[in-house]
Amino acid sequence: MTAAPTTTATNTAAPALMAQPTIAAARPRPPKSGWGDIGKGLAFLSPWLVGFTVFTIVPIALSGYFSLCDYSLLDPPMPIGLDNYRALMKDQWFWNSMKVTAEYAILALPAGMLVSLGLALLLNRPIRGRAIYRTAIFLPTLVPVAATAMIWLWLFNTKLGLINYVLGKIGIPPVPWLTSPSVALPAMVFMSLWGVGYTVVIYLAGLQDVPAELYEAAELDGATGWRRLWHVTLPMISPVIFFNLIIAIIGVFRVFEIPLLMTNGGPARATQFIAMYVYDNAFLYVRMGYASAMAWIQLILVLILTGIAFWTSSRWVHYQGK
């Protein structure tokens, strides 16, 4: 009668002893290597990486090599060192194209920035028909380049153009917009304001992110409309202004299609921008090495100007939370 409890204890302890190997076998596995995930990511990125390498990196490297060669596209490139760069320093038409580009930048860049910012400030106000005005300002950016050139060729026509027709109604004689060397470049600057729609949209996005509490605090402090603009609005959208400035600097050196279609660099090379002169040397004069050297100087100038903009940005660009 006394042996039954002993047998029960022995039977109860047996499952516990049998379960011990199972618990010991459940050991944590070593962490997997991250190379598998990296490989998958590179596989997804491979189409872009291949395209970027083939269509961007390789052409940049080849243009750097061609800039040190005498290359006419018809014969193999012959290395000549820095002779192309030395020849550029003596090329009066190269300096003329640089002058035209610089004058255009001095006029068009601040004009475009101010006009687009002013339009964005007006369209950000609660006015009736605001959506219609926004659409009207953005629509010109959707017009193809060739159509835009044709429209402005008619507007700038000396005899039949709409602009001279309106000026004649108020007693102003016809202006030779595209046939006078002194007027053609300002006409191009005026025409550049046609395509500020993208910039206006970017400014509008920045203006709508300005906290309303800041305007309320400024109004309580007695700040007028202009003071609120100067001390609240502009500092808060300064990152957007900086972004548009960088895009505008790059865009100035890429002006090509409109003057090519409208004036082909004339009259008297008054609208021959640096991008047009690069194109002429590469594909009209078949001097690919010379054009490549010019393109590298163009790239260096863009990098210098954008570098200056980034260097000065710490003094006037204000980011939220800093």
> Is 7 inside any structural domain?
no
The packing angle between helices 197-207 and 92-123, to 10°, is: 40
The pLDDT value recorded for residue 6 is 46
Write out the chain's pLDDT in tens, 322 residues.
Answer: 444 444 444 444 444 444 444 444 555 565 555 577 888 888 899 999 999 999 999 999 999 999 999 998 888 999 999 999 999 999 999 999 999 999 999 999 999 999 999 999 999 988 888 889 999 999 999 999 999 999 999 999 999 999 999 999 999 999 999 999 999 999 999 999 999 999 999 999 999 999 889 888 888 888 888 899 999 999 999 999 999 999 999 999 999 999 999 999 999 999 999 999 999 999 999 999 999 999 999 999 999 999 999 999 999 998 876 5
When divided into structural domains, the chain yields a total of 1
**What pLDDT does 84 receive?**
96
Q: How many residues does the chain have?
A: 322
Cα 162 from Cα 185, distance rounded (Å): 19
Residue 31 lies in a domain: no
Question: What is residue 24's predicted lDDT score, i.e. its pLDDT?
Answer: 47
Whether 207 and 124 have beta carbons less than 8 Å apart is answered as yes
Assess if residue 285 is contained within a domain: yes
Residue 192 forms part of a structural domain: yes
Query: pTM score > 0.95 for this model?
Result: no
Q: Answer yes or no: is 156 within a domain.
A: yes
Cis peptide before 267 (omega within 30 of 0): yes
What type of residue is 159?
Answer: K
Maximum distance among all alpha carbons in the chain? 133
pLDDT of residue 13: 45
Evaluate whether residue 75 is within a structural domain.
no
CATH code of the domain containing 239: 1.10.3720.10
In Å, how far from its chain's centre is CA 272? 22
Q: Given the structure tokens 């000026």, which residue do they identify?
A: 167
* Residue 67, pLDDT score: 96
Are the CB atoms for 134 and 116 separated by under 8 Å?
Answer: no
Provide the residue range defining the domain that includes 197: 91-316
Q: Using one digit for the tens of pLDDT, what is the confidence trace for 43-54?
A: 899 999 999 999
By C-alpha distance, which of 244, 270, 295, 206 is closest to 113?
244
Asked whether residue 53 is assigned to any structural domain, the reply reads no
pLDDT confidence of residue 15 = 47
C-alpha distances in Å from residue 202, one per residue of 246, 291, 316: 13, 34, 19
